[in-house]
Amino acid sequence: MKFSKLAEYYEKLEATSKRLELVDILSKLFGESDSAEIMEELRRKSEVQQA
């Protein structure tokens, strides 16, 4: 997935606090991603949080 597409999803997530909308956005993101991309992003997020 291109970074620009991922950034679009992050912007959508930041723009709402509605739980159902968040779930819908994440569902679409995961549907467009393969499992390797998801695992890589989760690994990066955990590294940032630990720093």
pLDDT at 51: 66
Cα separation, 33 vs 19, in Å, equals 21
Taking a C-beta distance cutoff of 8 angstroms, is the pair 22, 13 a contact?
yes
For tokens 């620009």, name the residue. Answer: 4
Name the residue ranges covered by the structural domains of the chain: 3-50
- pLDDT confidence of residue 47: 87
Which three-class secondary structure state does DSSP give residue 2? coil
The per-residue b/e assignment along 21-33, b for 16 or more CB within 10 angstroms, e otherwise, is eeeebeeebeeeb
Residue 23 pLDDT: 97
pLDDT tens string 1-51: 788 998 999 999 999 999 999 999 999 998 988 888 888 878 888 888 786
